[in-house]
Structures are given as C-alpha cells and as structure tokens.
C-alpha cells in the first residue's frame, strides 16, 4: 500500500530520553509503518525536525452545553459553584437544540485546533425538553469524521432534585447517552445522595454504559460520596468503567480518613478527573485565610498508581468566564496547584491530558501511536513534554483520521534590539 502522508524525524514520547527519532507513514487513515528511516515516499511529506509527536490531547471533562455563555443572562458575582448553577438554571430556560449545537461545535473546533481529538462532555438532563442532550448527541454525529465525542447524561439539579429527573435520566440513556452522570453532593440530603449513586450504577448496568459522577465538588470535609462510589465499583466490578470527577472534598479530608479511603480506592480502580483551572477558582470561596486550594489529591492518587486525568471543565460559562480549551493550560495549572514540579511529575501532567484521559474514556485500542492504529496524532512546537508545558507549545499539525485537519504556525518573534 502507498502512503498518503509521511512524517519524517518525529520525536515520540517513548524515545524522549534517547532523542532518537522515527519516520511515520500513514495510509487509509491508519498508521502504516513506524521506523527510524522509511525508504518510501508519499504525496505529502512533512519534516518534523525532531519535534514531539504525540497522540492527541483528550478532554476528559467539559460542559459543551453551557460553553460560550459567560455573562448570559448575568455575570457570576460571587464566583461560586452554586451561583453558577443558579445562573445556568435561568440561561437554560430558553435553551434550544440549535443553540447548543452551534456553541458546542464552535468550542470543539477551537479544541481540535489546539490538538484535542477526544472529548467527554456532560449534558444537563434536568430539563423536560432534554435540549442539551439532544443537541450534543446531534453534535456527536456531526463531528464524528474528525472528533470522537462522548456524552454523559448529567442531572445538574440532582437525580432526585425533582420528581421527573430520574425518569429524564433513563430517557437520556435510551436516546443514546454514552455515560450515566450524577451529582450526589448536590442532592437534598445525604440519603438522597447515596441513593442516587446506587441508582446510577443500576442504570449503567441495565443499559451497559460508562459512569462519570460529579463527586464531592465542595470544600465540605463531611462530603463523602467518593467512598459510596468506590464501594459500588468494588461490588459491581465496574471500576475501570467508572470515573469520579472533581472529588475536591478529598483535599479537605483529615489524613486518617484520607489514608483509609486511599486503600478502598485502590481496590475499586476508579478513574479520577481533576479540573484544576475551575477547582482552584470555585473552591475555597467561603474560606478567609488560610484559603484552601480545593483540588483533589492529584499527586497522591497518581503516586498510588490510580488513573488520574485532567479536564478543562468550563469554557466561558457561568462557572468560569475564561478558558480557551487549551489542555496545555490545564496541565500547566495542575503543575502549580497540585505541586507537581518534579521532572517526572511534569511529564505525568502531560500524560494526564493525553494517555490517562484516553484510559478514563475507555478508548482502549482506538488511541495511541503504533502501527495499525487510527492515524490520530499531533505535532508540537517542542522537543519534550516538559517543553510543551513550559512554553504552552503551539500544536503545529493536528492529524485526524490520517488527514491534516489543522495547521498552525508558531508565533514568529523578531528581535530589533542590539
Ligand atoms: Zn463538571
């Protein structure tokens, strides 16, 4: 078979330490061959010049239904999670499928241009119209030729926040949501929260779906739904198909409880997602000083061998008015907030927005740079993961399904001084 695209002198992460490069040949949307030197030609040949070629970034946690709505209908003045939920309740009153589709595709194009080709988005399913879910399911179909999108049915107002919400969740799964979501810490009582977690597992088994729960996204050290999620994962055996998002209260638990919990989590083998941009912004708002960071124990979870990925969570919405969708900004924030400043730790933060995210999304064989894999890869203006985070490197080429989808020139700096 003839190659359609050839990348010369690529630095793969696996050979970062040695500095050895490889050529990568692509044909029919797949990686055809990888070798130090390939004696073939192709209609398009790119000399990568020893720069880093990675599997694409994976956005493991975002809310595309609310993306690009900052200030609508008003600004979040307290900056808290709960005022954000109030504002979103007003904004979503006039949500339409078209409105969701337009903004979501705009946000996905923005992320794809920054090297993100796999995204898990939550869709609020607390409204009887299910406009957010229907809009995002339509988007999943519309972008499938260049982007893989997973949609989580997310009961923003609580699974038991109203009499209809549990039925709306089940309807969402019948419509084709990829995962069951939840928000146990926002339910009316602790008992409702526990009941919601059990219901989520029951539905995931009934419809054979993944699970991704907004879990303990609060500074309250008494918010302990993570142990409930872990227990359900152990008893059901679903662990690797289950994700606990945020778990910010874990950062406020006393160490004796945290140590006990860590043992349970290792048995459960859940996936974890921290959203450092948003966690550092929303949490700690009721503290004076010292003020908590409000981020889960990323470093300790990672050191325990558990799968941790990082998400952007929000792009210009009621919870966070900033954000461009750049996962290198997320990784850079994790380095700071989670104190992951060692060389291995910085590399791990890069992995948390790439391969670890792929594991969270259960992408398995669809992800990674190897012969026979789908040809999804990115070329960074950097020679290593460290340089990529250091410089928030430009993603020069985004290759999706074997085609160059986006090309971006790094900024050119001209020095006119002495
Ligand atoms: Zn979220």
Q: Where are the domains of the chain?
A: 5-55+368-407, 57-365
What is the CA(123)–ligand 1 centre distance, in A?
Answer: 10
Residue 51, pLDDT score: 98
Per-chain mean pLDDT for the chain: 97
The CA distance from 55 to 356, in Å, is 11
CB atoms within 10 A of CB 323: 24
Q: How far is the CA of 413 from the centre of ligand 1 (A)?
A: 37
Instruction: Specify the pTM.
Output: 0.97
- Closest residue by Cα to residue 122 from 61, 167, 81: 61
Mean pLDDT of 257-266: 98
Tell me, in angstroms, the distance from the centre of ligand 1 to residue 44's CA.
40
Return the bridge partners of 149, or none: 119
| Distance from Cα 279 to the centre of ligand 1, integer Å | 10
Q: What is the 63 CA–ligand 1 centroid distance (Å)?
A: 6
Would residue 217 show up in a list of annotated catalytic residues for this protein?
yes
Q: How confident is the model at residue 196 (pLDDT cuts 50, 70, 90)?
A: very high
* CA atoms within 13 Å, Cβ hemisphere of 197: 27
Q: How confident is the model at residue 165 (pLDDT cuts 50, 70, 90)?
A: very high
- List the alpha helices (DSSP H) in 64-184: 81-91, 97-113, 131-142, 165-175
Q: Which helix (H) or strand (E) holds 328?
A: helix 327-337
Indicate if the pLDDT at residue 340 is higher than 90: yes
Spot the catalytic one: 86, 217, 227, 387: 217
Q: Does pLDDT of 100 surpass 80?
A: yes
Cβ partners under 8 Å of residue 248, min gap 6: 216, 217, 218, 219, 279, 283, 294, 295, 296
If you measure from the C-alpha of residue 294 to the centroid of ligand 1, how many angstroms do you get, rounded to a whole number? 14
- May I ask the CATH class of domain 57-365? alpha beta
Query: Going by CATH, does the domain composed of 5-55+368-407 fall within 2.30.40.10?
Result: yes
Average pLDDT of span 35-64: 97
The terminus-to-terminus CA distance of the chain in angstroms comes to: 54
């Amino acid at each position: 078979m003839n190659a359609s695209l050839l990348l010369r002198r690529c630095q793969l992460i696996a050979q970062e330490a040695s500095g050895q490069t490889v050529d990568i040949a692509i044909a029919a949307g797949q990686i055809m061959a990888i070798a130090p030197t390939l004696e073939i030609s192709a209609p398009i040949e790119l000399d990568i010049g020893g720069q880093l070629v990675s599997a694409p970034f994976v956005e493991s946690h975002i809310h595309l239904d609310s993306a690009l709505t900052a200030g609508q209908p008003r600004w979040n003045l307290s900056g808290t999670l709960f005022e954000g939920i109030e504002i979103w309740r007003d904004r979503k009153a006039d949500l339409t499928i078209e409105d969701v589709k337009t903004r979501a595709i705009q946000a996905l194009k923005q992320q794809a241009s920054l090297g993100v080709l796999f995204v898990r988005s939550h869709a609020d399913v607390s409204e009887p119209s299910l406009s957010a879910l229907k809009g995002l399911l339509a988007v999943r179909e519309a972008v499938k030729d260049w982007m893989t999108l997973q949609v989580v049915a997310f009961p923003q107002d609580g699974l038991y926040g109203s009499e209809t919400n549990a039925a709306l969740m089940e309807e969402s799964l019948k419509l084709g949501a990829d995962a069951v979501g939840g928000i146990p810490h926002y339910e009316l009582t602790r008992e409702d929260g526990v009941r919601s977690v059990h219901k989520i597992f029951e539905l995931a088994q009934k419809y054979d779906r993944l699970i991704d729960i907004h879990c303990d996204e609060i500074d309250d050290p008494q918010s302990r739904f993570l142990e409930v999620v872990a227990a359900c994962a152990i008893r059901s055996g679903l662990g690797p198909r289950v994700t606990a998002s945020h778990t910010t209260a874990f950062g406020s638990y006393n160490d004796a409880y945290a140590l006990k919990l860590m043992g349970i989590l290792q048995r459960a083998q859940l996936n974890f997602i921290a959203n450092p941009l948003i966690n550092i912004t929303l949490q700690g708002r009721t503290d004076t000083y010292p003020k908590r960071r409000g981020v889960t124990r990323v470093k300790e979870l990672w050191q325990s061998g558990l799968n941790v990925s990082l998400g952007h969570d929000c792009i210009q919405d009621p919870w966070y008015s900033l954000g461009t969708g750049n996962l290198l900004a997320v990784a850079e924030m994790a380095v700071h907030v989670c104190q992951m400043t060692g060389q291995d730790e910085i590399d791990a933060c890069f992995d948390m927005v790439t391969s670890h995210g792929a594991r969270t999304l259960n992408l398995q064989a669809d992800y990674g740079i190897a012969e026979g894999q789908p040809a999804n890869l990115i070329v960074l203006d950097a020679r290593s993961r460290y340089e990529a985070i250091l410089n928030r490197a430009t993603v020069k080429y985004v290759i999706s399904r074997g085609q160059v989808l986006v090309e971006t020139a790094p900024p050119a700096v001209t020095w006119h001084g002495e």
